[in-house]
Structure 1
């Protein structure tokens, strides 16, 4: 089996897990910080994330622990294998003194997928900055 790499981004957020959870699981809020979607918080639900760059990700909800953990597949089909991606994204929320600790891990990058790996590292930083704004506004 091919060895894969992971992108991990962690940040402290000044919001309780319940507030962040809403932004992670409500389609209209996901659209504001991540991408347009037809997400439903149901294990086995298949959904699409529609990137503003024109790409579509095929996803499936894998696990849900309300206010604690959410994971889904994150698959991008492409005729060029270097761009095709089969990965899993996991969000983990842990209460902290100032609100919550959010850990996002995306696993499944093949060694030759340097561009996708680098894009995910930068992309998750931007997505989480937007997530923080959405959660603060939804207050």
Structure 2
């Protein structure tokens, strides 16, 4: 198994970062269109119509504002995404663990590239908020 682990430091209060991870409208601005709700057991989808991608998810953990986890099943992957947040001063430390890849293959590197690009979008949204 290969697990993707990424860390970010965002100059924004933890509650703003949490809201960007859990509000469907904000998620749509930096991830994909979705019907996400931060409710354990809730089943939702993330969709990118441009590339024909549909990701099915089920919320596994909601520990506001410190931890959020959900399944990420789409295309060739059946994985779990977990966000962990910790606030220190005016900075939120955001840790992403995306686990369950069979190996460091195209899906793994595609996810790494995709999350890196999406986090750039997240930081822009939070900076402008």
Aligned residues: 128
- Aligned pairs for 1:47-86 within 5 A: 47-51=44-48, 52-77=50-75, 84-86=76-78
The alignment yields a C-alpha RMSD, in angstroms, of 1.1
- Aligned pairs for 1:1-139 within 5 A: 4-51=1-48, 52-77=50-75, 84-111=76-103, 114-138=105-129
Moved segments of 4+, more than 3 Å = none
Relative to the length of structure 1, the TM-score reads 0.88
Q: Could you list the per-position Cα deviations for residues 24-46 of structure 1 after superposition, in whole angstroms to 9, with x for gaps in the alignment?
A: 01100000000000001100000
Relative to the length of structure 2, the TM-score reads 0.95
Question: For structure 1, which runs of at least 5 residues remain unmatched after alignment?
Answer: 78-83
Question: For structure 2, which runs of at least 5 residues remain unmatched after alignment?
Answer: none
Larger radius of gyration: 1
In structure 2, distance between residues paired with 1:46 and 1:137: 30
Residue in structure 2 matched with residue 80 of structure 1 by the alignment:
none
Q: Could you list the per-position Cα deviations for residues 7-60 of structure 1 after superposition, in whole angstroms to 9, with x for gaps in the alignment?
A: 111011000110001100110000000000000110000000002421100000
